[in-house]
């Protein structure tokens, strides 16, 4: 793993740990009751507004255009473009936030598929209005992060999620007497400090130049809008999954939204650490290789990244699958979060884990299309498959119950990945694809074998995991998590995976050097 990817992976892991700790506090305070469901639902409208201005894709859209100016030594034009995007899109977002604040309740009713309890809806409206202003800081900070990424500055941008989650946690603790209000207030505070104030400091270190300009008809801004349009109109996988949880979760009782959200947050930790760290770190190089028209090198980079990531992810998924119940017990089971809820959330988590394969691969594959400025291709593909999946959620609701959400979501994410692989290979070549697909197939075979072992492990340890105290459960989970992870890597190596062999060799060399048994 490159230094940049390592920095991002560590920061994302730290952010996810804080995110899980945040969920732990929420679980202890509110469990899966109305208050927690209201807070989860409150993020729907802010997330939709961010999606409209493509905040989550700002780096992806911004970097190719800004990099083009840097490569052609036109930095003045680059800084004018940066300032124009910041000012013009920022004003547009502000004009959306104001009516959304006023009509928050009506918008929540519009976008939820189930009839919601009036108390839940009122509370979600209140929380949503507290959260909403933070989206302006998140938008501005995302552009500042993109500027730093083009200059290979990853450390300060990597702290956004850490500070954001820390602020939410602190808000929840300081205002614990007011229910979950402190958690909601922590969102705009964390957004201001982590996404805005700190990123101004980081960007200034990189020589940022701001120009007071607002020109929506500038050619490069129109090009930016052209690239942004498919992002705004389309539905990405992450947004789709969170939208489905909030829109359909209410159909499964008062605990539906929160139970799905707890399981999703644990699964998302794998996506953040393995998928987004690789995708974010490799994207500036992808954009550069496209500009330099080095598509053979680009293909080899993409497939090597996908193959190695899939190898390690498979081992991690096996460990989390086998230890899903103790993981949920350790993280959440206290206060208002009961044993019955632990059983429900751990079962949902197991069904969510296949989604992580699709999302991690997409985190890299989607960026390859974006680096080539082919924004519409993955957008139409992903949105089309998601649109086709909506009837499946409805049709399986009665037969699968709450598990219909992760099951259909997993099928949708995997189908999107397979389609993207086919389209990329058809249009840009297959250099490096065959060995990568071979290693990924071996990883899938090892996954099938290890799942059978995990079933046996679960059956033998079920009584212990459900009755032992927390200290022993942590020790047990740590030991067997590392053991299952290692066995899965070794099994891939024995099956002939070159990635697994390389990774095991790298790990063993690092361990030997740490023990001073091998020279550097």
Mean pLDDT of 504-519: 73
Mean pLDDT of 51-71: 76
Mean pLDDT of 100-107: 93
For residue 287 the two structure tokens come to: 């954009």
For residue 186 the two structure tokens come to: 């922590």
Q: What is the number of other CB atoms lying within 10 angstroms of the CB of residue 398?
A: 8
Clarify whether residues 249 and 189 are in a common domain.
no
Contact present, 232 and 51 (Cβ < 8 Å): yes
The rounded distance, in Å, linking the Cα atoms of 226 and 219 is 10
Mean pLDDT of 410-434: 86
Clarify whether residues 368 and 462 are in a common domain.
yes
Does the pLDDT at position 103 exceed 90? yes
Clarify whether residues 43 and 89 are in a common domain.
yes
Q: Which domain holds residue 115?
A: 34-216
- Please give the C-alpha separations between residue 439 and each of 308, 312, 489, 504, in angstroms, as whole numbers: 8, 11, 12, 14
Domain boundary among 216, 243, 268: 216
Contact present, 424 and 295 (Cβ < 8 Å): no
For residue 455 the two structure tokens come to: 């079933």
Question: What is the pLDDT, as a whole number, of residue 4?
Answer: 61
Question: Does 19 reside within a domain?
Answer: no
Contact present, 85 and 78 (Cβ < 8 Å): no
Q: What percent of the chain has pLDDT over 90?
A: 25
Question: What is the pLDDT, as a whole number, of residue 56?
Answer: 67
Q: What is the number of other CB atoms lying within 10 angstroms of the CB of residue 162?
A: 20
The rounded distance, in Å, linking the Cα atoms of 499 and 492 is 9
Segments in 195-236 forming alpha helices (H): 198-205, 219-233
Rounded to the nearest 5 percent, the helix, strand and coil shares of the chain are 85, 0, 15
Question: Does 212 reside within a domain?
Answer: yes
Torsion of CA 240, 242, 243, 247, to 10 degrees: 140
For residue 491 the two structure tokens come to: 């099994």
Question: What is the pLDDT, as a whole number, of residue 88?
Answer: 92
Mean pLDDT of 220-241: 76
Domain boundary among 153, 183, 216: 216
Q: What are 493-501's contacts with CB under 8 Å, separation 24+?
A: 495/442, 495/445, 495/446, 496/442, 497/311, 497/439, 497/442, 497/443, 497/446, 498/435, 498/439, 499/307, 499/308, 499/310, 499/311, 499/439, 499/443, 500/311, 500/439, 500/442, 500/443
Question: Does 401 reside within a domain?
Answer: yes
Question: What is the pLDDT, as a whole number, of residue 5?
Answer: 61
Mean pLDDT of 404-421: 89
The rounded distance, in Å, linking the Cα atoms of 167 and 247 is 27
Does the pLDDT at position 125 exceed 90? yes
Contact present, 489 and 500 (Cβ < 8 Å): yes
The rounded distance, in Å, linking the Cα atoms of 4 and 135 is 27
Clarify whether residues 265 and 198 are in a common domain.
no
Clarify whether residues 298 and 384 are in a common domain.
yes
- In which band, very low, low, confident or very high, does the pLDDT at 237 lie, cut at 50, 70 and 90? low
Does the pLDDT at position 2 exceed 70? no
Q: Which of 33-37, 95-99, 229-233, 309-313 has the lowest mean pLDDT?
A: 229-233
Question: What is the pLDDT, as a whole number, of residue 236?
Answer: 63
Higher pLDDT, 511 or 235: 511
Contact present, 10 and 280 (Cβ < 8 Å): no
* Residue whose pair of structure tokens reads 């990424």 in the numeric block: 149
- In which band, very low, low, confident or very high, does the pLDDT at 426 lie, cut at 50, 70 and 90? confident
Does the pLDDT at position 400 exceed 70? yes
**Top-confidence range, 182-191, 326-335, 358-367, 466-475:** 182-191
Average pLDDT of the chain is 85
The rounded distance, in Å, linking the Cα atoms of 446 and 353 is 16
Contact present, 491 and 446 (Cβ < 8 Å): yes
At 160-178, the pLDDT tens digits run 888 998 999 999 999 988 8
Higher pLDDT, 518 or 231: 231
Mean pLDDT of 140-154: 83
- In which band, very low, low, confident or very high, does the pLDDT at 70 lie, cut at 50, 70 and 90? confident
The rounded distance, in Å, linking the Cα atoms of 439 and 444 is 9
Residues 6+ apart with CB under 8 A from 313: 270, 274, 275, 356, 357, 360
At 465-497, the pLDDT tens digits run 888 888 899 999 999 999 999 999 999 999 999
Length of the chain: 520
Does the pLDDT at position 280 exceed 90? no
Clarify whether residues 355 and 427 are in a common domain.
yes
Choose among 35, 195, 52: nearest CA to 127: 35
Give 233's Cβ-side CA count (13 Å radius): 14
Residues 6+ apart with CB under 8 A from 128: 41, 42, 43, 44, 45, 46, 104, 108
Clarify whether residues 384 and 241 are in a common domain.
yes
Contact present, 195 and 50 (Cβ < 8 Å): no
Structural domains of the chain, count: 2
- In which band, very low, low, confident or very high, does the pLDDT at 48 lie, cut at 50, 70 and 90? confident
Question: Does 246 reside within a domain?
Answer: yes
Q: Which of 104-108, 151-155, 215-219, 391-395 has the lowest mean pLDDT?
A: 151-155
Three-state SS annotation for 10-39:
HHHHHHHHHHHHHHHHHHHHHCCCHHHHHH
* Residue whose pair of structure tokens reads 């809008």 in the numeric block: 225
Clarify whether residues 61 and 129 are in a common domain.
yes
- In which band, very low, low, confident or very high, does the pLDDT at 316 lie, cut at 50, 70 and 90? very high
Contact present, 154 and 7 (Cβ < 8 Å): yes
At 294-306, the pLDDT tens digits run 888 888 888 888 8
Clarify whether residues 425 and 289 are in a common domain.
yes
Clarify whether residues 155 and 296 are in a common domain.
no
Question: What is the pLDDT, as a whole number, of residue 59?
Answer: 72
Question: Does 517 reside within a domain?
Answer: yes
Residues 6+ apart with CB under 8 A from 213: 80, 83, 84, 87
The rounded distance, in Å, linking the Cα atoms of 347 and 345 is 5
Clarify whether residues 409 and 467 are in a common domain.
yes
* Residue whose pair of structure tokens reads 């959304």 in the numeric block: 100
Question: Does 224 reside within a domain?
Answer: no
Residues 6+ apart with CB under 8 A from 364: 275, 278, 279, 282, 302, 305, 306, 309
Question: Does 460 reside within a domain?
Answer: yes
- In which band, very low, low, confident or very high, does the pLDDT at 433 lie, cut at 50, 70 and 90? confident
Question: Does 282 reside within a domain?
Answer: yes
- In which band, very low, low, confident or very high, does the pLDDT at 366 lie, cut at 50, 70 and 90? confident
Using DSSP's 3-state secondary structure scheme, residue 196 falls into helix
Clarify whether residues 51 and 126 are in a common domain.
yes
Higher pLDDT, 431 or 16: 431
The rounded distance, in Å, linking the Cα atoms of 281 and 149 is 8
Domain boundary among 167, 186, 216: 216
Q: Which of 81-85, 274-278, 359-363, 369-373 has the lowest mean pLDDT?
A: 274-278
Residues 6+ apart with CB under 8 A from 234: 378, 379, 380, 382, 383
């Amino acid at each position: 793993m490159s230094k940049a990817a390592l920095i991002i992976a560590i920061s994302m892991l730290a952010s996810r740990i804080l995110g899980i700790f945040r969920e732990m506090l929420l679980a202890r305070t509110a469990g899966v009751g109305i208050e927690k469901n209201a807070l989860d639902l409150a993020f729907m409208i802010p997330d939709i507004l961010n999606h409209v201005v493509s905040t989550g894709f700002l780096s992806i859209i911004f970097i190719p255009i800004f990099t083009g100016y840097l490569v052609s030594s036109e930095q003045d034009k680059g800084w004018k473009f940066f300032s124009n995007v910041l000012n013009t899109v920022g004003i547009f977002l502000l004009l959306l936030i104001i009516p959304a604040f006023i009509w928050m309740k009506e918008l929540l009713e519009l976008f939820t598929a189930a009839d919601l309890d009036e108390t839940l809806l009122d509370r979600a409206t209140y929380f949503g209005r507290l959260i909403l202003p933070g989206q302006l800081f998140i938008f501005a900070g995302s552009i500042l992060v993109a500027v730093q990424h083009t200059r290979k500055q990853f450390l300060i941008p990597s702290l956004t999620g850490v500070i954001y989650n820390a602020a939410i946690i602190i808000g929840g603790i300081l205002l614990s007497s007011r229910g979950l209000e402190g958690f909601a207030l922590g969102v705009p505070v964390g957004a201001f400090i982590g996404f805005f104030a700190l990123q101004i400091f980081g960007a200034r270190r990189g020589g940022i130049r701001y120009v007071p300009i607002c020109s929506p008809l500038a050619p490069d801004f129109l090009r930016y809008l052209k690239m942004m349009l498919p992002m705004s109109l389309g539905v990405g996988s992450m947004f789709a999954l969170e939208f489905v949880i909030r829109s359909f979760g209410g159909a499964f009782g008062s605990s539906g939204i929160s139970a799905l959200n707890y399981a999703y947050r644990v699964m998302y930790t794998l996506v953040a650490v393995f998928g987004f760290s690789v995708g974010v770190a490799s994207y500036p190089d992808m954009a550069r290789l496209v500009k330099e028209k080095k598509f053979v090198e680009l293909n080899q980079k993409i497939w090597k990244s996908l193959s190695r990531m899939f190898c390690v992810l498979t081992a991690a998924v096996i460990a989390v699958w086998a230890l899903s119940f103790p993981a949920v017990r350790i993280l959440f089971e206290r206060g208002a979060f009961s044993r019955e809820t632990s059983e429900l959330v751990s079962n949902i988590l197991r069904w969510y884990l296949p989604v992580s394969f699709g999302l991690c691969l997409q985190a890299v594959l989607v960026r390859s299309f974006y680096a080539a400025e082919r924004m519409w291709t993955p957008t139409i593909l992903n949105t089309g498959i998601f649109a086709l999946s909506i009837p499946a959620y409805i049709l399986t609701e009665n037969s699968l119950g709450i598990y219909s959400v992760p099951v259909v979501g997993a099928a949708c994410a995997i189908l999107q990945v397979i389609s993207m692989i086919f389209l990329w290979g058809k249009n840009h070549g297959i250099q490096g694809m065959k060995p990568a697909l071979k290693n990924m197939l071996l990883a899938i075979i090892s996954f099938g074998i290890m799942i059978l072992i995990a079933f046996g492990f679960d059956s033998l340890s079920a009584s212990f995991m459900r009755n032992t105290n927390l200290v022993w459960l942590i020790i047990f989970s740590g030991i067997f998590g590392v053991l299952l992870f290692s066995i899965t890597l070794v099994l891939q190596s024995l099956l002939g995976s070159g990635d697994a062999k390389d990774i095991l060799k790298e790990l063993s060399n690092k361990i030997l050097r740490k023990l001073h048994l091998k020279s550097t």
